[in-house]
Structure 1
Amino acid sequence: MDVLTVGRRIRHFRKQRGYTLDVLGERVGLAGSQLSLFENGRREPRLSQLQSIATALDVELTGLLTDEAPDARAALEIELERAQSTSLYRSLQLPSVPTSRTLPQDTLEALVGLHRELTRRATEAIATPEEARRANTELRREMRGRDNYRPDLEAEALKLLAVVGHERGALTHHNVGRLARHLGFEIIHVGDLPHSTRSVTDLENGRIYLPPASIPGGHGLRALALQAMAHRVLGHREPPSYAEFLQQRLDINYFAAACLMPETSSVEFLSSAKARRDLAIEDYRDAFGVTHEAAALRFTNLATKHLGLQVHFLRVGDDGGIYKAYENDGLPLPTDVSGSVEGQLVPRVWAARTAFARTNRTTEFYQITDTPSGTFWCSAQTGTTLSEEFSITVGVRFADSKWFRGRETRVRSQSAEPDVSGQPEVGELSARWKGKAWPSAKLHAHILSPLPTGTFPGVDDLEMYRFLQSHSDSDS
């Protein structure tokens, strides 16, 4: 029973009949003060009492029990009562305004409007940098516990691919378009996407807006379209928190990868390569027509579950800072005091950084690295964005390198454990210069870029709405 709405409906029908509280009370055998508590939602009436009230007011019992407010004024009163009872409002330590009939209509409307805006701002996916990093860390730990494998998303991807009969090889743009139409969408390429978005889905008109070409840094058009579709397939709603936003982003990225590199055919391909002791990310990449980063991340989804290999993955900028990282093989990732790895600097001798010094970058670079936590074999490849270079590294414990191409590499390095801040030891140079310099730090943009500015983290709401309105107007 919605006590507040029931109370307002009792009052509505009482006033309509011209009864005072005392008159109605006499008819049903209740004190007028008790009826007042019912009407104000302060006390819940028993069903037998409601039946007596309904009889006295000459209405059906269901007429009192419906969840619909009896009129527009009552709807505003109910909304204000509920808003003032929330922990959000109580935290402001302000007095509650009685929602009596004497409260002027314009005052009531203003108060309700203020509460709506207060709630909207509070429920935006707002996160401080610390909260964002903490949420990232928790999600990374959760996926480590799953060995980075999500059978639920694998099943959803295979179910969607069955629509176009795709099983192996590169998923074509044509079939991606067919999948979109199956879900009720049309893919449209435009050159004026909001600068803060990679794609925009118009739910009202069934359109997925994409850029006219792939985004530098590995975001292919097929992946962008599949990620947009994934929100519909997985039943996502607007994220109420930054943690939920991150979870949704992980889900859509995983789903898109599972569509581009289906589980069954991927496992067949990788198992065959392992049997030949010739596992190579570049071969997996080429077999399914995806980016090196996509293939490397997808490999981590399947390696432990299907190949029995514990692995690690790194995307590192040319400044040595970590963008993304995953490991279940014990690689000693640098972390801050909260356990976060994003933005931390990997040691200079790791393959993720030494790969930038290579002259020939057309093929993968292989390296063995000794650390205090063991010896690791790594395969690294570099790429570029509009603003910087990055490296993609996949590796395993040295004992498992026997399954990979490049295991015979003679490139080997010795790595000390990073200190708490993630900075590598600098020995004599530190002793020489510590306390004698004051640099102005270059902002790690990738650490702050996911932080929210509106309903959807990182997206300028107004810019997106103007974009949608512009394209909607151009069609009319």
Structure 2
Amino acid sequence: MVPNDALTLGRRIRARRVELGLSLQEFSDRIGKAPSRVSVIENGQRDLRLSELQDIATALDTSSDALAQSGELSERDALEIEFLRAQRTPLYASLGLPEIPVRKSLSDETMQAMLKLLGELTELHSTRAATPEVARLANLQLRADQRERGNYFEELEREAEALLRAVGYREGPVSMDTVKQIAEHLGFTLHAVTDLPYSTRSITDSERMRVYLSASGVSRSRSVVLQALAAHVLGKREPVDYGDLLQQRVETNYLTGAILLPESSAAPLLRASKQRRDLSIEEFRGHYGVTYETAAHRFSNLATQHLEIPVHFLKVHESGAVLKAYENDSVLFPTDALGNVEGQIVCRWWSARQVFTTDQRIGTYSQYTDKPAGTYWCTSQVESGPGGSYSISVGTKFSEAKWFRGRDTSVRLRSDCPNPSCCREPEEELVERWGERSYPSARMNSSLLAAMPTGTFTGVDRVAVLEFLQRHTPESP
């Protein structure tokens, strides 16, 4: 039987030849092949047919079974095999290096050093290409850090304040003109283009200090520009792992929100609304001309720090899956066994799901919900985006609802989740009628098994980005 491992078999053939004292030419003459072809066999560069192995075994005064089942290889042979295998991996091919032939002049120390370097590279790429489970664990830690600090980052607030002060901002909504002034203050110019790669929202040319935006969405590009500028201000580079990637996104998004809804004006505005018992995310959104999601998330930054109100925030897809979540009011989000929230299904009796079933999808919807951790008040609004509709929700404990507009709602529901009997188990009649007569085909998330790409930011086509920059770089005189 011919073994599949051509490298090992080739080394055993060579070892037997050397044991018999045969030169490469003598052995070649015995089997009627050119020395170059014998070298290819001994170096494991092609598989042997059974008839070829039998001819070789006869020439070496042994049997094919003996060659295939010989004992351990010498240390040198084993090292050479490991070295050759390492050069045949996708990782080695991606480095663009030539294959290093194994000769007698190649020392053991050189091969061992190369293997050590390749091993370190493999470990690095294995870490970067870890499964999404690593990302979820990193996100779990990040959410715990946010909870501990009340989702308030003082150093980023100061950074936003300094940028606004530098361009003479006073109060009110931060206009696109103000954003442009911030860019110019940092040395950047903004450019609308029609050929921005599909996988990107913006591209920053740090050499010529340019930020490229899609011409089709330039009128709503404040956040996109500020996120690009935030990465520069915070000195962000390509993330090294999932934890770094998530931390960067949190910080750049936070700084963007802190510029669009400045603490210096937003905090007094919210305090005045609380004093009137008229806190409203919709009113907050309207005052600064931002999306409901941006206003809700920014409210979660400031509520505990300036209003002493613990809150929770949810972004939920119309399918019921959690996309973003934050809490410091002890509400019990749905979680997996490790405590991860993102991707879990929200109870259908929560405001985040109920808003999809009412005729109040235009405007805000509020309700009280009796949950295992207590009674909570929550307000939700639906926004549309890529992939469907999403509910944006902000909630707090019953005792804090008195400060919010919408506290007078008469809607009050009960949720026993995570108890399966709450909303996750169908009625017995339906199970009896359809339990064994149905087989749904699940819509698989395309990123379910995706790993963190190497050499590029997640989800971005690096080739398209670099080609884009090349197109927009004038030729040197």
Q: Does 2:150 match 1:142? A: no
> Matched residue of 1:394: which SS?
strand
Tell me what 1:57 maps to: none
Amino acid corresponding to residue 413 of structure 2 in structure 1 = S
| Structure 1 range deviating more: 353-362 or 449-458 | 449-458
The offset of 1:123, in angstroms, is 8.1
1:311–1:394: 8 Å Cα contact kept in structure 2?
yes
2:139–2:246: 8 Å Cα contact kept in structure 1?
yes
Q: What percentage of aligned pairs have identical amino acids?
A: 46
> Matched residue of 2:464: which SS?
helix
Q: Tell me the alpha carbon deviations over residues 123-166 of structure 1, each in whole angstroms, 9 at most, x when there is no partner.
A: 88433121112111211111111110100111111111111121
Seen in structure 2, the aligned counterparts of structure 1 residues 300 and 377 have a Cα distance that, compared at 3 Å, is: same
Tell me what 2:382 maps to: 382
Where in structure 2 are the equivalents of 1:250-289 lying within 5 Å? 250-289=250-289
1:125–1:455: 8 Å Cα contact kept in structure 2?
no
Distance 1:448 1:378 in 2: 34
1:351–1:393: 8 Å Cα contact kept in structure 2?
yes
1:285–1:291: 8 Å Cα contact kept in structure 2?
yes
The offset of 1:118, in angstroms, is 4.0
2:351–2:367: 8 Å Cα contact kept in structure 1?
yes
Tell me what 2:181 maps to: 178
> Matched residue of 1:334: which SS?
coil
Tell me what 2:357 maps to: 357
Q: How many residues were matched structurally?
A: 375
Tell me what 1:239 maps to: 239
Structure 1, unaligned runs of 5 or more:
1-87, 90-96
> Matched residue of 1:180: which SS?
helix
Distance 2:422 2:199 in 1: 30
Amino acid corresponding to residue 458 of structure 1 in structure 2 = G
Seen in structure 2, the aligned counterparts of structure 1 residues 357 and 418 have a Cα distance that, compared at 3 Å, is: same
Amino acid corresponding to residue 465 of structure 1 in structure 2 = L
Tell me what 1:438 maps to: 439
Tell me what 1:69 maps to: none
| Structure 1 range deviating more: 117-126 or 306-315 | 117-126
Amino acid corresponding to residue 415 of structure 2 in structure 1 = S
Amino acid corresponding to residue 172 of structure 1 in structure 2 = S
> Matched residue of 2:248: which SS?
helix
1:336–1:421: 8 Å Cα contact kept in structure 2?
no
2:167–2:185: 8 Å Cα contact kept in structure 1?
no
Q: 1:163 aligns with which of 155, 162, 166?
A: 166
Seen in structure 2, the aligned counterparts of structure 1 residues 475 and 262 have a Cα distance that, compared at 3 Å, is: farther
The offset of 1:422, in angstroms, is 11
Tell me what 1:459 maps to: 460
Seen in structure 2, the aligned counterparts of structure 1 residues 214 and 144 have a Cα distance that, compared at 3 Å, is: farther
Tell me what 1:323 maps to: 323
Q: Tell me the alpha carbon deviations over residues 355-388 of structure 1, each in whole angstroms, 9 at most, x when there is no partner.
A: 1123343311111111111111111100111431
Amino acid corresponding to residue 201 of structure 2 in structure 1 = R
The offset of 1:115, in angstroms, is 5.1
The offset of 1:341, in angstroms, is 0.9
Distance 2:106 2:285 in 1: 67
Amino acid corresponding to residue 152 of structure 2 in structure 1 = Y
| Structure 1 range deviating more: 336-345 or 116-125 | 116-125
Tell me what 2:334 maps to: 334
Where in structure 2 are the equivalents of 1:64-143 lying within 5 Å? 118=121, 122=125, 125-143=128-146
Seen in structure 2, the aligned counterparts of structure 1 residues 267 and 142 have a Cα distance that, compared at 3 Å, is: same
Q: 2:195 aligns with which of 175, 185, 192?
A: 192
Distance 2:160 2:131 in 1: 34
Q: Tell me the alpha carbon deviations over residues 167-210 of structure 1, each in whole angstroms, 9 at most, x when there is no partner.
A: 42111111111111111211112232222211111112211111
Q: Tell me the alpha carbon deviations over residues 301-346 of structure 1, each in whole angstroms, 9 at most, x when there is no partner.
A: 0101110101011111110111101111121110111211111110
Seen in structure 2, the aligned counterparts of structure 1 residues 421 and 328 have a Cα distance that, compared at 3 Å, is: farther
With normalisation by structure 1, the TM-score equals: 0.71
The offset of 1:437, in angstroms, is 3.2
2:211–2:225: 8 Å Cα contact kept in structure 1?
yes
